[in-house]
Structure 1
Amino acid sequence: MILWGLLGSLAAGSMTAVGALPVAFGRSVSPQARDTMLGFAAGVMLSASFFSLILPGLERGAAVYGGVVASALLAGAGIAAGAAMVAALNRWLPHEHFITGPEGADPGALPRIWLFVIAITIHNFPEGMAVGVGFGSGDIGHGLSLAIGIGLQNAPEGLAVAVALRGQGYSAARAVWIATLTGLVEPVGGVIGAAAVTVSAYALPFGLTFAAGAMLYIISHEIIPETHRHGHQDRATTGLIAGLILMLVLDVTLG
């Protein structure tokens, strides 16, 4: 299951490079299309958080701990802990977003490009962890649906990162290369997530909801505000609904 978690999260992370490829050929994307695609990514993550992580976590928790109340309390603790982890990384790690600017600790002499990379890494790590936890549950179909869903939403994110880097003055080749590297943190999260939940059946319910909480924080704190920043709320919401439905179908048919 750890190997499946590694391979699944690696495949999902590699879609970041696929999404960035148009920039290598001089293609760009309109702000409206960008916000629609990021809305789609948010919809996939939102659907995956509930249908692929929280609901299975509640079911496994009820089976392991012998009651729905204990399962619900554990799920709530897992969600809160996952969100708190990402919030702490946001606070402690120096990083910079393309639009909102610098956040976190004092970066000192750290080059600006590394601040961008750290910001994207904070975003991508929980996604890889979610894929790893999905495979770590022992259900290959469940993990596969998460890997496909996260991979699909990584493509527009990769394009958005590459376009933003081009806007900062980086060459097309370097923008694509950096976007590709940011996706490679996902296999790290995948291995950690799969290993953590395969240790014990008692850890699985918490691991599933922990991964969900981390992604929910990113959706609310990063993606949705970004898609609404330029007045394209309608397009972004349409993309979100489309992504949510697609991930729901993937989870039902594969998981």
Structure 2
Amino acid sequence: MSGVLLGSILSAMSTGFGALPILFIQGSITHRFRDTLLAFTAGIMMAASLLSLIPESLATGGYIQLVIGVFLGVMTLTIMERNIPHIDLGHTKSGIQFDEKALLIITAITLHNIPEGLSVGVSYASDTADTGNLIAFAIGLQNAPEGLLVALFLINQKIGKFTAFLIATLTGTIEIITGLLGFYLTSYIGFLVPYGLAFAAGAMLFIVYKELIPESHGDGNERTSTYSFIIGLLFMVILLEIL
């Protein structure tokens, strides 16, 4: 219980950690830096899905459970994407006033964190040691650039730096609740574990291919982002080998 709580808190608070630099920077952060960070995160999440979550799902269940779980994760994010307003945070050219539309966007970002929290929670329900810690680490890395981009978006709407930092941090807190929910569901209903691990893998793969990779290629930094993606993947492999 303490492990999943700590992991959920740390992964959720990574959103605020990522937004922290806005309190100190004077100028804007370059697209190259953001794209490199997003691609590195994509590599981390890809390795975590393919080398940890999917093998764990197969080991605790089987191929059928894996397929069902992956598609549930993908379909959940697909439905959310179609019904929740979305904005390309890293590459928006036109300003959006901080009105009802901006509030909808902030709400959308918060709701998009729900599957990530579930991914962390179900990973801690696995029998394999350190799976939860690895997934919490991977999700936390994904949350950091997300928090930075959210804060930058808010600053572009003439919101104060501290307020932007606070709002960006709060968008990640829902992951604590959903992390605990995912953990309890899979812990007390044992047959859900392989489905939950596969759900987490599907959700993460969707985020990688649909969000992180396209955003990291949005400003002509494809080659740099590709190198960063590979480095991130290899970095996660090293962590898996060490742990």
Q: Report the CA distance shift for 1:97/1:114 in structure 2 as closer, same or farther (over 3 A).
A: farther
- Equivalent in the alignment of 2:114: 125
Query: Residue 195 of structure 1 aligns with which residue?
Result: 184
Secondary structure in 2 matching 1:130: helix
Matched, 1:32 2:32: yes
Please tell me whether residue 230 in structure 1 is matched to residue 215 in structure 2.
Answer: no
Q: Look up the match of 2:5.
A: 6
Q: Report how far residue 97 of structure 1 moved.
A: 3.9
Amino acid at match of 1:91: R
Q: 1:159 to 1:100 in 2, by over 3 A?
A: closer
Tell me how far 1:176 sits from its aligned partner.
0.8
Give the whole-Å Cα distance in 2 for the aligned partners of 1:154 and 1:55. 24
Kindly indicate whether the alpha-carbon contact (under 8 Å) linking 1:129 and 1:190 is maintained by their aligned counterparts in 2.
yes
How far off its partner does 1:31 sit?
0.6
| Corresponding residue of 1:107 | none
Deviates more, 1:9-18 or 1:23-32: 23-32
Of residues 242-251 and 115-124 in structure 1, the stretch that sits farther from structure 2 once superposed is: 115-124
| Match in the other structure for 2:69 | 78
Contact 1:8 1:147 in 2 (8 A): yes
SS in 2 for 1:229: coil
Q: CA deviation at 1:205?
A: 0.6
The alpha carbon displacement at 1:132 in A equals 0.9
1:156 and 2:145 are equivalent in the alignment:
yes
> Is residue 213 of structure 1 aligned with residue 213 of structure 2?
no
Q: What percentage of aligned pairs have identical amino acids?
A: 41
Does the CA contact (< 8 Å) of 2:88 and 2:215 recur in 1?
A: no
Question: Would the alpha carbon gap of residues 145 and 84 (structure 1) be closer, same or farther in structure 2, given more than 3 Å must change?
Answer: same
- Three-state SS of the structure 2 residue aligned to 1:137 is coil
Per the TM alignment, residue 146 of structure 1 is displaced from its structure 2 partner at its CA by: 1.7
Cα-to-partner distance string for 1:165-196 (whole Å, 9 max, x where unaligned): 22232221121111101111211221121112
Q: Where does residue 179 of structure 1 map in the other structure? A: 168
- Is the Cα contact below 8 Å between 1:97 and 1:116 reproduced in 2? no
The aligned counterpart of 1:245 is 234
| Correspondence for 1:41 | 41
What is the number of equivalent residue pairs in this alignment?
236
Q: Is the 1:131–1:147 contact (alpha carbons within 8 Å) kept by the matching residues of 2?
A: yes
**Mapped contact 2:44–2:232 kept (Cα < 8 A):** yes
Q: Which residue pairs with 2:21 in the alignment?
A: 22
The aligned residue for residue 60 of structure 2 is 60
Mapped partners of 2:147, 2:201: distance in 1: 21
1:18–1:158 Cα contact (<8 Å) kept: yes
Could you tell me which runs of 5 or more consecutive residues in structure 1 were left unpaired when the two chains were aligned: 62-70, 102-109
In 2 relative to 1, CA 94–155 (structure 1 residues): closer, same or farther, beyond 3 Å?
closer
Sort the Cα spacing of 1:75 and 1:100 in 2 relative to 1 into closer, same or farther, 3 A.
farther
| 1:133 positional shift | 1.1
Shift of 1:230: 1.0
| Equivalent residue letter for 1:83 | V
Distance 2:178 2:240 in 1: 21
**C-alpha separation in 2, matches of 1:248 and 1:118:** 34
- Is 1:88 aligned to residue 88 of structure 2? no
TM-score scaled by structure 1? 0.85
CA contact (8 A) 1:6 1:188 kept: no
Deviations 1:184-220, CA, capped at 9 Å, x for gaps: 1211221121112112332111110011111111222
Aligned-CA RMSD value: 2.0
